[in-house]
């Protein structure tokens, strides 16, 4: 594989990744709509609260898996570029990508905080009582 093929592979993945990310953002928005309705009504049956909680938790899990897969792909592309670099000279961009993405964490603290803040806000709206 050449360096250009590795960049193309990354670009193709990122297009699909952007589509999934947008879908999860819509799902998160829908979760906030449901949790807001539960919070404002104040008399939602426990079964409804449980179902909406499960929905919000699964969307957060899907978002976490997308983040994990994206970070894993960055490491894989960096490894692939490193292999290509053994056979041919790499561009400075590829060398920088290897340096940065080769050591990407499984999930970084900012990504974890983003996903955790979403689920915490949603669950608080479901299970916290609205002040009278």
pLDDT per position as a tens digit, 75-87: 999 999 999 999 9
The C-alpha atoms of residue 94 and residue 116 are separated, in whole angstroms, by 32
What does the pLDDT look like over 100-115, one tens digit per residue?
Answer: 998 888 999 999 999 9
Distances (CA, A) of 71 to 13, 17, 81, 103, 104: 12, 11, 15, 10, 6
- pTM surpassing 0.95? no
What does the pLDDT look like over 14-64, one tens digit per residue?
Answer: 999 999 999 999 999 999 999 999 999 988 999 999 999 999 999 999 999
SS3 content of the chain, % helix, strand, coil (to 5): 85, 0, 15
Residue 132 has pLDDT above 80, yes or no: no
SS3 122: helix
């Amino acid at each position: 594989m050449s360096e250009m093929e590795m960049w193309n592979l990354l670009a193709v993945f990122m297009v699909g990744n952007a589509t999934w990310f947008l879908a999860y953002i819509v799902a998160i928005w829908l979760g906030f709509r449901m949790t807001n309705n539960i919070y404002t009504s104040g008399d939602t049956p426990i079964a409804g609260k449980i179902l909406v909680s499960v929905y919000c938790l699964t969307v957060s899990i899907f978002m976490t898996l997308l983040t994990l897969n994206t970070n894993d792909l960055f490491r894989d592309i960096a490894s692939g570029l490193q292999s290509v670099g053994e056979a041919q000279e790499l561009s400075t961009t590829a060398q920088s990508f290897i340096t940065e993405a080769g050591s990407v964490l499984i999930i970084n603290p900012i990504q974890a905080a983003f996903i955790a803040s979403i689920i915490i806000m949603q669950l608080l709206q479901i299970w916290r009582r609205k002040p009278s």
